[in-house]
Amino acid sequence: MRDDFEASFAEQLAAIEAETGPAVAPGVNARLTETPDFTPFCFGYPKPDSDSGAQHPAALLADLTWDAGSHDRASAMLTAYADDAATRETLLRGVDDESQLAVSRILAILVCAEESAVNVFHHECHRLSDAQIAADHQALREIETEERVHAWLIHAARSHLPVPDDIDAIRRRTRRLFMRVASRDVPTHFARLTGLDSGVCISLSALLGSAKVNKIEGFARLIKHIRRDEATHVKKSRDHAVDLGFNPDQFHECYDLTRSGMVGMLEPIASSFETLGVDPDRLFKRLMRFQESRLAGEAALID
């Protein structure tokens, strides 16, 4: 803009308008600094360790400093989902009732996983010394913040979706699985987490392979974002487990517990996968295929 007060008002106005960024719906930016009012679905979790301790999206983004790409992706997602009206449109427009309920069931399970993951990584950061975390390139802190972003996004999406009749049973089953895979032995706990996270990647890949899912734009975009982050979590959790002394030959046994637990948890909502154009039997077989490969975590990310 010209710093020239001799310019006509019309010129000044044109210059000001040209400087304005892309149009953002009223209220969107404000939402990014609002304390979320979502009630935890399965597990409550502590505030972040950042100076402000704030849990709103802007504070989470301020913590995502290590990787510009990750920060930009999270920023684009949070800004998009802070626009309530637009998010509602992309989740519900042209989507039949059964599919809305199916998406709602899947997001309920997913948010339980995110809430559990925030706790796991938060407590692990407290357990380790600063020196250990620094040596680990802050990988665990990074994951904790990404999980907080995922939880915020899913809670935002869920607020637009109908609540299925079986929501309490879903919560009970999902909670039970996460309690069952927890181990007092920290290396084992992280090894088991890789089985769960890679299982989440497989399930989200199956969903993203469905044309029907891709038509539910808001849902497809959300699970694509989460899958990308989770793929990196598998690698980081695996490395962390091994760094803590976990024997890599024993990943196989952890997968036995976590993947069969996952299939048992998902079986009662198999028809929701069908509704979304995903063959549940094929997915469940895929989740159990680790038995053929020790490197299931890595293999899982290929498809």
Residue ranges that bind Fe ion, judged by CB under 5 A? 114, 117, 147, 150, 230, 233
Q: CB nearer to Fe ion: give 92 or 144.
A: 144
Query: Least Å distance between CB 197 and Fe ion?
Result: 5
Residue nearest to Fe ion (CB): 233
Residue nearer to Fe ion on the CB measure, 56 or 235: 235
Residue closer to Fe ion, measured from CB, 28 or 117: 117
Q: Output the smallest distance, CB 138 to Fe ion, in A.
A: 15
Minimum gap (Å) between residue 10 Cβ and Fe ion: 51
**Whole-number Å distance between alpha carbons of 160 and 235:** 33
**Smallest separation, CB 94 to Fe ion (Å):** 28
DSSP the chain: ----TTS-HHHHHHHHHHHS-S---TTHHHHTTSPP-PPPSS---PPPSSSS---SHHHHHHH--S-HHHHHHHHHHHHHHH-HHHHHHHHHTT--HHHHHHHHHHHHHHHHHHHHHHHHHHHHHHHS-HHHHHHTTTHHHHHHHHHHHHHHHHHHHHTTSPPPTTHHHHHHHHHHHHHHH--SSHHHHHHHHHHHHHHHHHHHHHHHT-HHHHHSHHHHHHHHHHHHHHHHHHHHHHHHHHHTT--GGGHHHHHHHHHHHHHHHHGGGHHHHHHTT--HHHHHHHHHGGGG-TTHHHHHTT-
The residue with tokens 């600063």 is 130
> At closest approach, how far in Å is the CB of 30 from Fe ion?
26
- Return the number of the residue (87 or 198) whose C-beta is nearest Fe ion: 198
CB of 121 to Fe ion, least distance (A): 8
Minimum CB distance to Fe ion smaller for 95 or for 120: 120
Q: Nearest to residue 74, comparing CAs of 141, 153, 154, 160?
A: 153
> Which of 150/286 has CB closer to Fe ion?
150
Amino acid at 293: S
Minimum distance between the CB of residue 114 and Fe ion, rounded to whole angstroms? 5
Burial class (CB in 10 A: 0-12, 13-18, 19+), 39: exposed
Nearer to Fe ion, 199 or 280 (CB): 199
CB of 130 to Fe ion, least distance (A): 22
Contact 206, 286 (CB under 8 A): yes
Q: Is 121 or 246 the residue whose CB approaches Fe ion more closely?
A: 121
